Amino acid sequence: MPRFPKPPEGSWTEHYPELGTGPVSYEDSISPEFYQREREAIFKRAWLNVGRVEQLPRVGSYFTKDIHAAHASIIVVRDREGRVRAFHNLCRHRGNKLVWNNDPRLETQGVCRQFTCKYHGWRYDLDGSLTFIQQEGEFFDVDKSRYGLAPVHCDVWAGFIFVNFAREPEQSLREFLGPMVTALEGYPFEKQTSRFGYSTTIRSNWKLYMDAFAEFYHAPVLHANQSPEKYSTAARQAGFEAPHYQIDGPHRLVSTAGVRFWEMDADMVKPMEIITRSGLFGPWEKIDLGPMPPGVNPGRCNPWGLDSFQLFPNFVILIWSQGWYLTYHYWPTSYNTHIF
């Protein structure tokens, strides 16, 4: 007989009955007016993850990020003191987009000693200060100290770089993240040396995708072809409920049970998985990353599959039991499109 792990039990409403069980309106996902309010109330006030410190390996390393929902393009750079800074990607002279390569509509990255505007040649140091004005005498005793790049609030947690567009953030980054997320401190994100990424434009509201990852009701159906047929059939019959749910402030977490495919009967494992010794949950040989912080697998699931940390408003960290992780971002570009 095939060996299956004990079906996990639980749902959001069982853990948080205050969420209610009635129908949920999706007006906020189809309304252009609601999206305009979101831009002001959320994306110009919340801490937003824009990258990781590995993207800035040395002094002068930089990357740009266009955030349509905040009406902004920013430069993120490592200055001469090694500090990570962020600035609006605009020259203070005529408002030209400052850093871009072949196409100003595309984000870019690189290393430089200073930033030079392609329009009139004004130059800015890595700390944002204005250092050179072409034909400075024509500007009638201009005070360069008043015209440095406009800063954006920037902070780093666990190697993740966040920015905040508020004039003064309502909370520090650490306060915003809260104890559920900061309990991940100590997870060796920096040891993940191979990095792969992609992006695509999705024709839907960004929240529909965020909410889709708050449940695993879809897993036995949508991911059926990624797991052995007999297991997928059994999972569809039994249903899928996660063993651990958690809400902390605006953030939420779902942990799922794992599946030890390599312990199953031979006819339960795909031939390719036997050859590669890997499957849906990653490599069979678990990478030794050392002791895990308390925030990982907080429900102490055994076997454990993954933790899906959904950080408000649009950032997801998925930590997998086999020693790797994924990040998802959902950047709205209109009420019914977003970049995934």
**315-337 burial, b if ≥16 CB within 10 A, otherwise e?**
bbbbbbbbbbeebebbbbbebbe
Counting residues of the chain whose pLDDT is more than 70, the rounded percentage is 88
CA distances from 126 to 59, 78, 81, 151, 246 (A): 9, 7, 10, 12, 41
- Return the pLDDT at 2: 33
Mean pLDDT of 286-315: 91
- Return the pLDDT at 36: 97
CB-based contacts of 183-186 (< 8 A; 24+ apart in sequence): 183/293, 183/294, 183/295, 183/298, 184/158, 184/293, 184/295, 184/296, 184/309, 184/317, 184/319, 185/157, 185/158, 185/293, 185/295, 186/292, 186/293
Using only C-alpha atoms, what is the Rg of the chain? 23
How many residues in the chain? 340
Task: Judge contact between 325 and 287, C-beta under 8 A.
Answer: no
Task: Judge contact between 106 and 339, C-beta under 8 A.
Answer: no
**Of 299, 334, 340, 297, nearest to 316 (Cα)?**
340
Confidence band, pLDDT 50/70/90 cuts, at residue 173: very high
CA distances from 294 to 159, 181, 187, 227, 298 (A): 18, 10, 9, 29, 7
Mean pLDDT of 72-77: 98
Residue-wise pLDDT tens digits, 7-48: 345 788 888 889 898 998 999 999 999 999 999 999 999 999
Q: What is the pTM of this model?
A: 0.90
Task: Judge contact between 69 and 39, C-beta under 8 A.
Answer: yes
Instruction: Round to whole Å and give the CA distance between 304 and 325.
Output: 14
Residue-wise pLDDT tens digits, 215-254: 877 777 777 766 656 656 655 555 567 888 999 999 999 9
Instruction: Round to whole Å and give the CA distance between 92 and 146.
Output: 10
